[in-house]
A and B are shown apart, each in its own frame.
Chain A
Amino acid sequence: MGLATCGIAAGGDKVFAALKNALSQRNLQVLLTRTGCIGYCREEPLVSIHLPGKSLIILHRVAETDAEKIVEAVAAETVPQDLALCRVEEWDPIVGEKLVFGTGFEDIPVYDEIPYFAPQRKIVLRDAGLINPEEIEEYIAVGGYSALHKALTAMTPEEVIEEVIASGLRGRGGGGFPTGMKWNFTKQEKSLQKYIICNADEGDPGAYMNRNEMESDPHMILEGMLIGAYAIGAREGVIYVRAEYPLAIQRLTRAIAQARDYGLIGKNIFGTDFSFELTIAEGAGAFVCGEETALIASIEGKTGRPRPRPPFPAQKGLWGMPTNINNVETWTNIPVIIQKGGAWFSRIGGEKNSGTKVFSLVGEVQRVGLVEVPLGTPIQTLVYDVGNGGIEGRKIKAVQTGGPSGGCIPASLFDTPMDYEHLTAVGSIMGSGGVVVMDELTSMVDTARFFIGFTNEESCGKCVPCREGLKHMLMLLDKILVGKATESDMATLEELSGVIKKTSLCGLGQTAPNPVLTTLKYFRNEYDAYLKGVP
């Protein structure tokens, strides 16, 4: 039973209880277990059935009232065909041996043929929805911690970093900085104490892939961090996770305790000289804490306000010590790179954009959920092939990517490959991978106002351009929305956007005007309509 936060909210907990109850009334040799989420959120609650030697069958939109029917079918060694979404004959967990489920149920479509899954390539979400995230043994069974073993026993820290550099992996939190190079900066600092941090303060509204990665497969994050700590020479790590994700915190806490019991966290891991301690620090709801220096201040128990760089965290980070920070999804790729090799990883995706990215496809699109595709996949593949286009035949107007730092990309540019450079070229950014679809009923001026309202609220107030500038942008947008703005207000809005971008202290202010600039560029007609009064 898929029981991540969204599965539970869709009624999965009730289905789980009903299945448990139905099973308790029969004497069957059935294991009922919790998994994470396979990402097809629109079709939840999802239940998978594996009968010995048979294909794994994924059931969708399962209701509490279906429990009896499901258990009856399982008792008869079959599945309720009317609830079946697809079948999986075998699965590649990438780092481990291929999982062979079996064959049979040929009337049910194969996983790869389902339009939602067909363009996807699961590397980050390699185990999500298949293993029980609360049991370390299940992670180990699909090859978990084998990459750590390889790194610690057969590779030097330098070789680990070389492999990560060769993979071409870039930071998945937004900046896209090459991960291996970043690690090198901290490694080269001479210090007795160094830290690594996992940024799990997923703050972009509309993005929730990190939540699913933590809830569905927490050990892959731990393993990635352990390998990174070994390479960098850090003995302590912190996962900074937002308090709004209680289930993620619970599963990470459990994962850390289990890893400690297995000797995978603590002293002399795998009998080597390498020792590592890992703690969780909870964020408390401040978007600006996604910025590295603000995040560090927050862990230190201060208000999360950024400070000028340099010094970079690699030189002076947590408690003044060299510190390396990576996003959740960046860490999840590390075990794969170590186990399969940097060259293998670099062949996935596009030029200078290796690997996959998990996008959250949400908003006014039919099939919503988490979609993992190679970097460089065009926007249209996501919106139309995976998402199946607009709701009730409505025409899609734009996608908004990259959260409040990103921009709105019009449908005419949907052939744009989703990679770091191309998204920047059209005025948006990759960010953490949120893709919010907007259709013909969405007002782009209102959307721009929404984002400026957000960043204005989340501005930490330290630097003037961001604190005062965004406030004035918001006033101008409100004036536009009540139909009282003039051409000169429009010019001021545009000029102010440029000044805030150029002069703000941190990434929040430097990117905050993007939603306005892109909507001005691509949807000027909607602003113009407001100049003539409220349309």
Chain B
Amino acid sequence: MEPQRLEEIIGRYPTPTGKILGILEHIQREMGYLPKDVLKLLAKRLELPLSELYSIATFYSFFTLEALGRHVVTVCMGTACHVKGAPELVASLKHHLGVEMDETTRDGKFLLTTDDGEYTLTSARCFGACSMAPVLRVDNKIFGYVTPERIPSILKQFGWEGNHH
């Protein structure tokens, strides 16, 4: 991100209310993650310690510090989705995308990117589309009533051509 562009984003938040999160969200949406050099620049510009921005970036689940794949597949982990089989969707997606959980985290959070950088598989707390549970999102498109059998046809819409092994 060019310093010029960062200035434009900062300029969109003239009042302190909601400013810092708003700027970070803007960067996250535009870049797909929060690059370290941009955070450094922002810390300097806002006269905040970098550690404070790091603290915010790691506290809120909306932010990521590493670059994501070209397509992001997000499985909703809300209650309705859990009851209606979200864990099976995750298993199926891992199989089809050929990503493994190297670090099995106890809390169930994961962020897995395929070796070719095409796809990132992650989870979300709840999209608020519970009536269509289980739900997953690829980039900005939400798919409802998903079954493991439907996963290949969904992925194909985003250029997937079979197992990435």
Contacts and interface: CB of A to CB of B under 8 A. Distances in A.
Given A244-B128, A284-B63, A303-B55, A362 B25 contact: no
B143 interface: yes
A3 interface: no
Interface stretch (B76-84, B89-97, B149-157): B76-84
B18 A281 contact: yes
A282 B126 contact: no
Contacts of A447: 82-83
A282 B79 contact: no
B107 to A, nearest CB: 4
A287 B128 contact: no
A303 B56 contact: yes
B148 interface: no
B61 A286 contact: yes
B125 A205 contact: yes
Interface stretch (B2-10, B65-73, B112-120, B130-138): B130-138
Contacts of B17: 238, 279, 281, 299-300, 318
Which 7 pairs across A and B sit closest by C-beta, in order of nearness? A281-B18, A301-B20, A41-B131, A205-B78, A208-B128, A284-B60, A285-B61
Contacts of B106: 453, 456, 471, 474, 478
A9 B15 CA distance: 35
Interface string A266-305: 0000000000000111111111000000000011111110
Interface stretch (A135-143, A157-165, A363-371, A496-504): A363-371
Given A41-B131, A301-B56, A447-B83, A206 B24 contact: no
Interface of A: 5-6, 8-10, 41-42, 202-208, 211, 238, 240, 243-246, 279-287, 298-304, 318-319, 360, 362-364, 368-370, 400, 403, 434, 436, 438, 442, 447, 450-451, 453-454, 456-458, 460, 471, 474, 478
B29 to A, nearest CB: 9
B144 A282 contact: no
Contact of A434 (B18, B79, B132): B79
B56 A244 contact: no
A9 B144 contact: yes
Contact of B59 (A9, A238, A286): A286
B131 A400 contact: no
B5 to A, nearest CB: 19
B77 A205 contact: yes
A157 B158 CA distance: 56
Contacts of A303: 55-56, 59-60
A202 B159 CA distance: 34
B60 to A, nearest CB: 4
B125 A454 contact: yes
Given A282-B21, A460-B59, 12 more contacts: A6-B131, A9-B142, A205-B125, A208-B126, A208-B128, A283-B62, A287-B125, A299-B21, A301-B20, A450-B82, A456-B107, A458-B125
Interface in B9-60: 15-22, 24-25, 55-56, 59-60
Q: Which of A8, A208, A287, A403 has the most CB of B within 10 A?
A: A208
Given A282-B22, A474-B106, A208 B129 contact: yes
Contacts of B124: 244, 285
A280 B18 contact: yes
B79 A205 contact: yes
A281 B84 CA distance: 33
Given A205-B79, A436-B80, A5 B142 contact: yes
A208 B81 CA distance: 13
B127 interface: yes
A478 to B, nearest CB: 8
Given A206-B130, A301-B16, A281 B77 contact: no
B127 A244 contact: yes
B164 interface: no
Contacts of A368: 130-131
Contact of B18 (A203, A238, A442): A238
